[in-house]
Amino acid sequence: MKLITLAHYGEAQSIIDRFSLSKKSSELYQNDELTLLLTGEGPFEACASVSSLLGQKNFSEVINLGIAGALDQKLLVGEIFEIRSIYLAVEGKLQYKTFKGAGQKDLITSFERILGEDKAHPLRGFGDIVDREAWGVAFSCKEHGVPFRSFKLISDVAGTIGACEAVKESAQELSLKLLAKLEEVLGEVNETREESFHLGDEFYFTFSLKHRLHHLVEMITLRDEITALDVFKKIDLGALKELNITPKARAKLLMEKLELELDPFKGKLQEALSEWKGNYQGLDIHTDPQWESQSVKFSFTVQNKNELEAKLELLAKVDLEPFYQILQGKVDVE
C-alpha cells in the first residue's frame, strides 16, 4: 500500500473523490490500495503525523503532493515539478540536514509562512520552490526506511501580496491538477475513460478542465443511470456549438451547464453571487468557494489618486446584505 500525504483537505479533495477513499478520521482517508494523510502545515507537525502512521503500518512508498510558492520567478503558476533536494529553513536560515530525491527542482520547507518579500528574499538562490511540510515528511520516511517522492504544484510566487486569496479561489482547479499528477505517477490514467467522448474542435479545454469535465459527466451518468451521450442531449450540446463565441468561452459555458445539471441549487447560488459581484465592477471580490464563511475580501489596483478616490467611493457603496441572503440560500434577492 502507498501513503499519499498532503497538507490540507482542499488540495486532496479531488484525489479523495477519484479513488473513493473512505474517511477514517479528520486527517486519514483510505481504500484497499491507498492511504491519504492530511499532515497540516509545518515541518514538525508533518513529521509527527507521518511518523505516527509509519509506526503503525507498513507502506511500500510515500508520495508527498501539494501546492507551493515559486522562489525562482521563472517558474510558472500551474507547473508541477518533482523535487530533487529538500532543505529546512527556520527563521530564514537553512538547517544542516537535507534530503535527496530524483527530481529537477530544489525545495525549501519553511518553518514560518512566507507572507512577504522580506521573508522570501533570504531564501532565493538556495532553492527554487518553498512549502511548509515536505521536509518533515521526508525526515519521517528516512527514519522508517520508506521510499519517498515529492511533487509540488506552483500556486503563486512566494511573498506575493494576496497570494493566499488567489490560491483559495482556485482550490478546485489546483486539486484536479494534483490528482492528474498522482494518476500519472501511479500509472493509472485510464485512456479509455479519457477518450470515451470527443466534443470536437468547437471546445477548448485545459488539462485540468478536461479532468473536471469527465468527473462531472461521470457523476451525472451515475446519478441518473444514463450515458454520456444522454447527458449532452439534456444540456443541448448542439445549441452550444452554434453560438458565435470562442472555443474557450464555449467550454466554460458547457462546464457551467454541467455544474447546474449536477447541482441546480448550487448553480442558482453561483448565478446570484456573480450578479451581486457584477454591481461593483472594478473591485475584486473574494468569497469562500466552499460557501462556509461569511467573510468577504476586497482588493483593487490604482494608478493615481483619482482612481484611488473612485475605488474607495465604490467600496463605501457595497451592500453586503444581498450576499448574506445568498449565503442563506435566498437566491431571489435584488
Using one digit for the tens of pLDDT, what is the confidence trace for 216-266?
A: 888 888 788 888 888 888 888 888 899 999 998 899 889 888 888 887 777
The verdict on residue 137 lying in a domain is yes
Q: What is the pTM of this model?
A: 0.59
Last residue of a domain, one of 152, 186, 220: 186
Residues 116 and 218 in one domain: no
User: What is the pLDDT of the chain when averaged over all its residues?
Assistant: 85
Residue 141 sits in which domain range? 2-186
What Cα–Cα distance (Å) separates residue 151 from each residue in 110, 224, 311?
16, 37, 41
Residues 123 and 212 in one domain: no
Residues 305 and 174 in one domain: no
pLDDT tens digits along 62-114? 999 999 998 888 888 888 999 999 999 888 778 878 888 878 899 999 888 87
Last residue of a domain, one of 208, 238, 262: 262
Cell triple for 184:
500519472
Residue 333 banded pLDDT, cuts 50, 70, 90: very low
Q: What is the rounded CA–CA span in Å between residue 113 and residue 41?
A: 9
Residues 125 and 30 in one domain: yes
Contact criterion met (CB below 8 Å) for 299 and 286: yes
Residues 31 and 106 in one domain: yes
Contact criterion met (CB below 8 Å) for 57 and 64: no
Residue 167 banded pLDDT, cuts 50, 70, 90: low
Indicate whether 168 pLDDT > 70: no
Residues 251 and 111 in one domain: no
The verdict on residue 334 lying in a domain is no
How many domains does the chain fold into? 3
Residues 223 and 74 in one domain: no
The verdict on residue 100 lying in a domain is yes
pLDDT tens digits along 41-75? 889 999 999 999 999 989 999 999 999 998 888 88
Last residue of a domain, one of 209, 239, 262: 262
Residues 250 and 291 in one domain: no
The verdict on residue 110 lying in a domain is yes
pLDDT tens digits along 305-331? 999 999 999 999 999 999 988 887 776
